[in-house]
Amino acid sequence: MNISKTIYSCKNTEYSVVYTPDVVFAHRDCGDLTLQIVSPVSPDLPHKEENFYNPIREKFARWHREHPEKRPTFVHKPETRRFPLIVDCPGSGWSGADGHGHVPFMVYLAKQGFVAASISYRGTYRSNVVFPAAVQDLKEAIRFLRANADMFHIDPERVGLLGDSSGGNTVSLAALTDDADERFNIGEHLDQSAAVKACCNVYGPVDLINLVQDRINERKRLRPEEAPFPEGMPFEAMEIWQETYKDDPEGCLRAASPYYYIAENKSLPPFLFVQGDEDAIIPMAQGLRFCDRLRECGGRAEFVKVAGGEHGTGMWSEEMLAYVAAFFKAYIG
């Protein structure tokens, strides 16, 4: 018999992964917030009793009781490895995401040796909340995972963030604000830090004050009723604050702009900014100016252009994910 084809094992290049869905990390008035976790090893979750009678299992248990001398001698060795953690915040236009949509990306990252967790968070119009709700929820997810590092086989000293669109804005804010800023710290596990060592922003806006002018300069499509600040506001103002931005327009735009949190006298995690050159919503000037500012203040920043990439469409190729994984391997891997 002839061998028709030879394929090659992946055992030396990637991990098998385990998906743990809907892990509750926070309680809010609008409902529980959850994590979708994909990891290279099974988490040590508390044992869950079966709610049905299993005659096969009962037969084995009875046989072992009656023949103790024939009990298997295999002893389970607990998993001792610890893996770096990537916490993902999916984009949603600040309307709230449930984390399920990014599970395929988390699978790819987990195969590279990361525990990858995609979060759900409160949305402005789903939950009637405003800024900084998403940042608060993300920081609580980080603290929850650190508090349960042993259960999920996480190395709590190696944590990075990934987010796209509004999620990119959220992870950038979380990475650039410290634990002392009480605006962002609510919920449980406040004894844990939410600090991270690396951050990847995928086409997320970072300078809302200049966002509309950047769109005009790059001939992007203006969104409904937009005009440059100070005469007007970006559409994102409504997405983030509903109508409350009218009380302090400039203060609101600045508060939700990661660009204005960069300072020379603070510890700055390395950043990777990924942007498609055919993105109709977010101008490339946003990420380029953000990376320049980080470098000016002593930080490390890399800007990667995806030729033909749009706002979501065409961005999440295997090549792009490999680049993201390589970035995290360099700084937290």
Give the pLDDT confidence of 180-224 residue by residue, as tens digits.
Answer: 998 999 999 999 999 999 999 999 999 999 999 999 999 998 999
* E-assigned strand segments in the chain: 18-28, 31-39, 83-89, 115-119, 154-164, 198-202, 271-276, 301-306
Is residue 5 pLDDT above 80, yes or no? no
> Which residue, 276, 304, 303, is CA-closest to 290?
303
Give residue-wise pLDDT tens across range 269-324.
Answer: 999 999 999 999 999 999 999 999 999 999 999 999 999 999 999 999 999 999 99
Q: Are 149 and 84 in contact (CB under 8 A)?
A: no
Q: Which residue ranges make up each domain of the chain?
A: 18-44+78-206+264-331
Is residue 59 pLDDT above 70, yes or no? yes
Output the pTM of the full model: 0.88
Q: What is the pLDDT of residue 325?
A: 95
Give residue-wise pLDDT tens across range 302-313.
Answer: 999 999 999 999
Chain-centre distance for alpha carbon 82? 19
CATH of 18-44+78-206+264-331, one of 3.40.50.1820, 3.40.50.920, 1.10.287.610, 2.40.110.10: 3.40.50.1820
Provide the edge-to-edge strand list for the sheet that holds 301-306: 18-28, 31-39, 115-119, 83-89, 154-164, 198-202, 271-276, 301-306
To which H or E segment does residue 135 belong?
helix 133-147
Q: What is the pLDDT of residue 68?
A: 76
Q: Are 181 and 20 in contact (CB under 8 A)?
A: no
Q: Are 35 and 141 in contact (CB under 8 A)?
A: yes
Q: How far is CA 35 from CA 72, 81, 97, 215, in A?
A: 37, 21, 11, 34
Averaged confidence pLDDT in the chain: 91
| 249, burial (CB in 10 Å: exposed 0-12, middle 13-18, buried 19+) | middle
Give alpha helix (H) positions in 226-300. 236-241, 249-255, 284-296
Q: What is the pLDDT of residue 152?
A: 96
Handedness of CA 152, 153, 155, 158 (dihedral sign): negative
Give residue-wise pLDDT tens across range 239-258.
Answer: 999 988 888 999 999 999 99
**Which residues are within 8 A (CB) of 98 and not within 5 positions of it... i.e. 6 or more apart?**
34, 120
